[in-house]
């Protein structure tokens, strides 16, 4: 049953990968600052599968780096969910406006622009179908954001992740995989399309113990009980 993949799941694995790729010292420093922000924003957050949210973010950035994305785009991928699901309350008011002010303390403007565009992009079955009907020029204009969206979907499926979500989340993922593959091909990423094919086929053809099957269809928080001292 064990599924193996090459993508990072921890910050250290990601740093090592980026060093091997040849990111500069300055780029690595910015990546570390972005990870520190992500670790704060998603400290108690988990994906529907139960995977820690920061592991998911690291995984998406790792996939994108493997496909040759530039440093600003990889950094943006590490923080792609910041405005949608990040908790900025420790930095002040927890609002999108406050979030953008905070983000500018950790990332450059070109990174923040990508995060904003990711947040604004409609992502549902109808929107994806519309994208597939666009010209190559329009797709290229949104290439970075679309690649982040695709890495987000692929990462959720790695390690049979969909099997640990609710039945509805599994069904939704399986139903849309063909469109993800078509979009990857439209972006001239046939290898990425094949990664989707393999990951979803494995999830479709694999069973896990019912005691491990998840019941959640979206991300959630697990906050520690207040007033309890540690061991």
Domain ranges of the chain: 11-211
Please enumerate in sequence order all residues whose Cβ is within 8 A of that of 202, keeping only pairs 6 or more positions apart, or say none.
Answer: 3, 160
- CA–CA dist 111, 72 (Å, integer): 5
Instruction: For the domain covering 11-211, report its CATH number.
Output: 1.10.3210.10
Supply the pLDDT for residue 227: 44
Give the model's pLDDT for residue 20.
Answer: 97
Q: What is the pTM of this model?
A: 0.91
How does pLDDT run across 140-149, given as a tens digit for each residue? Answer: 999 999 999 9
Predicted confidence at residue 49, as pLDDT, reads 95
Q: What is the Cα–Cα distance from 30 to 70, expressed in whole angstroms?
A: 13
Beta-carbon-side half-sphere exposure of residue 212 (alpha carbons within 13 Å): 10
If DSSP states are collapsed to H, E and C, what string results for the chain?
Answer: CCCCCCCCCCHHHHHHHHHHHCCCHHHHHHHHHHHHHHHHHCCCEECCCCCEHHHHHHHHHHHHHHCCCCHHHHHHHHCCCHHHHCCCHHHCCCCHHHHHHHHCCCCCHHHHHHHHHHHHCCCCHHHHHHHHCCCHHHHHHCHHHHHHHHHHHHHHHHHHHHHHCCHHHHHHHHHHHHHHHHHHHHCCCHHHHHHHHHHHHHHHCCCCCHHHCCCCCCCEECCCCCCCCCC
- pLDDT for 99 equals 77
Residues of the chain with pLDDT under 70: 1-3, 93-97, 225-231
């Amino acid at each position: 049953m064990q599924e193996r993949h090459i993508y990072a799941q921890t910050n250290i694995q990601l740093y090592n990968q980026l060093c091997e790729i040849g990111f500069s010292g300055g780029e690595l420093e910015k990546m570390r600052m972005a990870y520190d922000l992500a670790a704060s924003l998603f400290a108690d957050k988990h994906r529907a599968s139960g995977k820690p949210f920061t592991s998911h973010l690291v995984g998406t950035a790792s996939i994108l780096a493997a496909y040759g994305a530039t440093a600003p785009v990889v950094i943006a991928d590490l923080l792609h969910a910041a405005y949608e699901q990040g908790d900025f309350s420790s930095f002040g008011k927890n609002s999108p406006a406050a979030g953008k002010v905070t983000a500018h303390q950790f990332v450059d403007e070109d990174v923040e622009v990508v995060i904003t565009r990711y947040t604004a992009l409609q992502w549902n079955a109808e929107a994806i179908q519309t994208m597939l009907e666009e010209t190559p020029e329009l797709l290229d204009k949104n290439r970075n954001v679309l690649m982040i969206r695709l890495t987000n979907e692929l990462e959720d499926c790695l390690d049979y992740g969909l099997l640990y979500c609710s039945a509805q989340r599994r069904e939704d993922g399986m139903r849309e995989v063909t469109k993800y593959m078509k979009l990857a091909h439209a972006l001239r990423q046939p290898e990425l399309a094949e990664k989707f094919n393999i990951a979803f086929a494995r999830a479709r053809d694999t069973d896990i113990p019912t005691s491990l099957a998840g019941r959640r269809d979206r991300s959630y928080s697990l906050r520690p009980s207040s007033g309890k001292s540690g061991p």
